[in-house]
A and B are shown apart, each in its own frame.
Chain A
């Protein structure tokens, strides 16, 4: 007989479940709630009862605290035991300082090293501050130098200028000149160049001034040519006419000199570069003005002397 596969599968499951169900029932009946409770029978006796309690238990503290040393070390003595009552501040035991000295020594050396570092750092700060001050001074000095271009050093009496100059040259690589060298430079170069420039300027100024004065005198003379002819006609000497023209030119020069001198004296302080004028310069300038005016009047005098007295008539 052939059993269908589904039936076979059901039969297989039943075959597995049946033993399991039997095992469950046996266990429940023998050891489980369904198992029989053993009972001891005793005879009831009438006796007096004495109340008593007996038990075994564990005493536990209500609060627990963990204590420990702040430094590691070996425990040398312990004066308390479990369950002892202790008070605040009570010594519980002692620690054996096995490597404490070594550690103190090490810490001390570390401390010393750190202190030396602090000292070094302080000295570095001081040095840095000194350098800062020096740099600030140098900055200020170089700014001053930038403005002034040169620094004048006054030596203490008895100091050798050449030795000082050499030292400064090596020290700062600056150009150093002693008084003698500086005088040589000033006279030979700077002052000579300035003198040439001022001289050239003065020459141009003198030529221009002479041309202006000559033009003015010439114009004034030409405007009075008829009067000059009349003067010659009525018997005026040539030298008198020349003297009149010269007088006019010198008068112009004197006025110009006075105005120029007053203006120069009043305005000179307001100019960036001061040109020192000594009284000798004023005298020389005055003489130059007179000479320029005299030369400038020559053309006008020449024309005046050429005037024909006949021009006054007709």
Chain B
């Protein structure tokens, strides 16, 4: 087991009390190593979103233990006082839709996060531009979100998730609105970035076309994940992470 990344032990989440209570997570154990991208699949209502929300520190689990990077954030109770700062500094989020702020250009969209953490605007923009170079969208740095294609917007969203160098990225259906080529390109980018920045990435997805790109896949059924090793990789160029640019 890697020392850092994401570690979840016996995580439980129950909604409601008494006979109507619903146990969404029934003792989840999971580990994602730094630089690793794992898939999380499962039918609707299986507990994927609950797990993601718990990992994202937006809902409080009922019991268990969570470690993000080198910090224990939950151990039968929050171990972090400022969950907002926790999300800002330790977790990157990528969503189904990019959800960029429409009235800021993409550089400011990305620079917003370090600025929220107290980094100067100049430094924040430099970080954003450096990421754009890596993600090959530097030539669109001054564009407004609406001027970009869906794939480009998603790359901006990835840059936003990475800009504070979090140990963990949670991606919720990041390829749902994209075609196969762009979907695989996004996953490839996530793989590259994970390796480059030693970030643990969990991708929740229903997207069949990207499932073969994961080395490891967690399938949640009835609140419990079943780990599944996918070997060998299918003959898809995107399955092997491309070399860092």
Contacts and interface: CB of A to CB of B under 8 A. Distances in A.
B172 A314 contact: yes
B215 to A, nearest CB: 24
Contacts of A309: 56, 58, 87
A179 to B, nearest CB: 58
Interface string B93-105: 1010101111100
Interface stretch (A42-50, A205-213, A232-240, A286-294): A232-240
A231 B58 contact: no
Q: Chain A's interface: helix, strand, loop or mixed, by majority?
A: helix
Nearest to B173: A314
Contacts of A248: 103
A227 to B, nearest CB: 5
A295 interface: no
* Interface size class, chain A: 10 to 19
B102 A314 contact: no
A314 B58 CA distance: 12
A313 B97 contact: no
B119 interface: no
* Interface size class, chain B: 20 to 34
Most A-side CB within 10 Å, residue of B58, B100, B160, B172: B58
B95 A312 contact: yes
B53 A235 contact: no
Interface in B50-108: 52-53, 56, 58-59, 84-89, 93, 95, 97, 99-103
B172 A234 contact: no
Contacts of B89: 235
A305 to B, nearest CB: 13
Given A234-B113, A309-B58, A227 B101 contact: yes
Contact of B93 (A224, A226, A312): A312
Given A226-B99, A309-B58, A235 B84 contact: yes
B129 to A, nearest CB: 19
A123 B99 CA distance: 100
